[in-house]
Structure 1
Amino acid sequence: MVKLNKIYTRTGDGGTSGLVDGSRLPKHDQRFEAIGTVDEANSAIGLALVVLAGTEPGRELQRVQNDLFDLGADLATPGEDFAPSEMVLRMVPAQSEWLETAIDTITAWINPLTSFILPGGSEASARVHIARAAVRRAERAMAALATEVPVNPAALSYINRLSDYLFVLARAVNDGGKNDVLWVPGGNR
């Protein structure tokens, strides 16, 4: 269990921040860009939870928020050994597999897509789409990090699958896709 006795430490006042192994990097390092965008995505999911609390999608999003904290811990742990242990928190394939099962379950009952859709339709759907876009940004940051240092393949799979999950979830909370707003190509020419 994490225990935070003091919120400020002053150790970052010089423009660096610490990693799980005790090493420090500049706050503008690509690793912190990835960790920060994962945190933003988690916050966007929290915004969606405001309107989905107490529902099955809300319970699923709470699970996702916990996984995103795991992801942040994984990204904050440098190295090439991605095996989880009691002392090292790493993403594992089962987390992506859960998302794939959820995607398949939702896709089986929502209306099939007949067009690209615009984010919106309902407040809940719009909030989930904001989270989806934030997750895509986190995925880009993680992919950029992976060009510089090793990144856990299970973490990269998870963030990619998560945006797909949020897309189908946004359609699900839009009355199974009935309230989706369809894109009209060139509709305003």
Structure 2
Amino acid sequence: MAKRKRKKNEWLDWVKAIVIAFIIAFVVRKFLFTPIIVDGPSMMPTLHDRDQLIVNKFNYHFETPDRFDIVVFHATKKKDFIKRVIGLPGEHVAVKDNVLYINGKKIEEPFLEEKEGDMQSYRVLTENFTLEELPGNYKKIPKNYVLVLGDNRSNSVDSRILGLISLDQIVGKTSLLYWPLNRVQLMGE
């Protein structure tokens, strides 16, 4: 009888441990971190198609995105995109002759430089635009919105097509590229 009771208790302990593990995993994935796989070349040369990253869903509950953060956002109800924050609330953004201007001031984009070992050239070929020419016809980026662009500007569906992105659409900031192993790196460091 005692042996049977011990087996039953052991079985219940295992069930409890598994249930607790699933609850913890659910909470971590829902509120703290989630994986994402890059789909397409729009973030080349920084991110490659099929790169796997961890998205920090937690930090934007306490702070707003910074310029050049790489963020994941809900582009549609079924599709998340990964792009780089370029323009912040209250700013005017323009690109002329492949040069980014924020409020009329030239801004360097060092992440667009070719990296040693890149197989292809991803020259920045951004057609000239101003904020007023984008969907919404804004003169300045409104409060609670950002302008995002892909690093591979000639092959990216971003704010030039989608318009400005609401902070409510942002899932989180990329924090770790973990696959493939030869490209493991902390993002934004």
Q: Compute the TM-score of the two structures, normalised by the length of structure 2.
A: 0.23
TM-score by length of 1: 0.23
RCO (CA 8 Å, sep 6+): is it higher in 1 or 2? Answer: 1
More helix by share: 1
Q: Which has the larger radius of gyration?
A: 2
